[in-house]
Amino acid sequence: MNRRQFLQSAVAASAAVAVPSLMTGCASGRGGVNTPPRGQKYGISLAEWSLHKTLFAKKLDHLDFPVTARRDYGIEGIELVNQFFKDKAGDTAYLTEFQRRARGEGVKCLLIMIDGEGALGDPDAAKRRQAVVNHHKWAQAAKHLGCHSIRVNAETHGVGSWDEQMKRAAEGLSELSAYCGTLGLNCIVENHGHLSSNGQWLSGVMKTVNRPNCGTLPDFGNFRIDDKTTYDRYLGVEELMPYAKAVSAKSYDFDAQGNCIETDYDRMMDIVLAAGYRGYVGIEYEGDKLSEPEGIKATKRLLERIRGV
């Protein structure tokens, strides 16, 4: 259950002017709503996917997610998933109501994770262009909600050489980032399977795009390239952190001392902080041994212990 009109030249040109000042220092988590509470090394946010079972079972409504984040978990930054309000991207009344509930709890909407809108690196140029357009409505929704970013995927369908796939992904991301720039948003990419889970490849895509509002969302756990190949998660995060505008603390299981079994969080957070990142780190629990509420709380305790606050 893991979680996807080229711009007119005049629009792209205006974006090029606007982008340099966009979210200054956001790669370090400084600027906009990605700034954590004063005095903290990093903020702790909650990715909506941590409650995907509850949401899919209709035991929680998407509109109530901000209230749940604050009252049940004491978290004041949230990361939304488009799957849970798929038909509401253009519904301003719905988005305004969500924003009202979030603000009422003192909760910040940080970003929207977008899937199912087409491959930005599709080998078919027409489909690639359409994928860019398909993401526009979510960028507009993110702006309405006060987010700093949309999270997208660098899908290429595995067609072509390493370099060809990199070029196509960079092309789609560059066009979408230009559009996001006109809205004051970042366009960020998660390591999310196939070549995007190769830190060297995805960092190469970032270098090729070379836009200040195009970055990464390093996920601690999404480094499975295919059924036989897994990329080193620590190396991958280290390669992606120079471009990071958000971070996803993936967790599955914990030992008796409260440590994450599959990821050394102390080592991982050392990598995150060494890169100068001081933004929010989003809890994304996907385990089965603990319930979703228990897994979220366990991940939060671990991040708080490492942070020292």
| pLDDT reported for residue 29 | 38
- 70-to-46, 62, 105 alpha-carbon distances in Å: 10, 14, 7
Whether residue 3 is contained in a domain is answered as no
**Residues in Cβ contact with 222 at an 8 Å cutoff, skipping those fewer than 6 apart:** 2, 190, 191, 192, 193, 197, 248, 250
Which pair of structure tokens corresponds to residue 17?
């002017």
Q: Is residue 150 part of a domain?
A: yes
Rounded to whole angstroms, how far apart are CA atoms 49 and 14? Answer: 35
Token digits of residue 45: 């946010």
In DSSP terms, 282 is beta-bridged to 45, 248
Residues 115-156: tens digit of each pLDDT? 999 999 999 999 999 999 999 999 999 999 999 999 999 999
Question: Which positions of the chain have pLDDT values less than 70?
Answer: 1-33, 309
Name the strands in the sheet holding 77-81, side by side, starting at the edge strand that comes first in the sequence.
214-217, 186-190, 149-152, 108-113, 77-81, 43-47, 280-285, 247-251
Does 297 reside within a domain? yes
How many domains, in total, are found in the chain? 1
Determine, yes or no, domain membership for 1: no
- Give pTM, 2 decimals: 0.90
Facing residues of 187 across strands? Answer: 150, 214
Single-letter amino acid, residue 96 = T
Q: Write out the residue range of the structural domain in which residue 79 sits.
A: 9-307
* The pLDDT of residue 39: 83
Residue 18 falls inside a structural domain: yes
Per-residue pLDDT of 72-124, as tens digits, reads 999 999 999 999 999 999 999 999 999 999 999 999 999 999 999 999 999 99
- Answer for the pair 120, 155: CB distance below 8 angstroms, yes or no: yes
> Can you give the CATH number for the domain in which 50 is found?
3.20.20.150
Which pLDDT value is given to residue 33? 58
Q: How far from 239 is each of 9, 49, 130, 219, 234, CA to CA, in Å?
A: 32, 24, 30, 12, 9
In a domain, 127, yes or no: yes
Contact 186, 180 (CB under 8 A): yes
Q: Look up residue 287 and give its amino acid.
A: G
Q: Does the residue 4 lie in any domain?
A: no
Find out whether 163 and 124 touch, Cβ atoms under 8 Å: no
CB 205, CB 172: distance < 8 Å: no
Phi and psi angles of residue 111, each rounded to the nearest 5 degrees, phi first? -165, 165
Within 10 angstroms of residue 232's Cβ, the number of other Cβ atoms is 11
The predicted pLDDT at position 249 comes to 98
Residue type, 84: F
- Return the closest-CA partner of residue 261 out of 251, 271, 270: 251
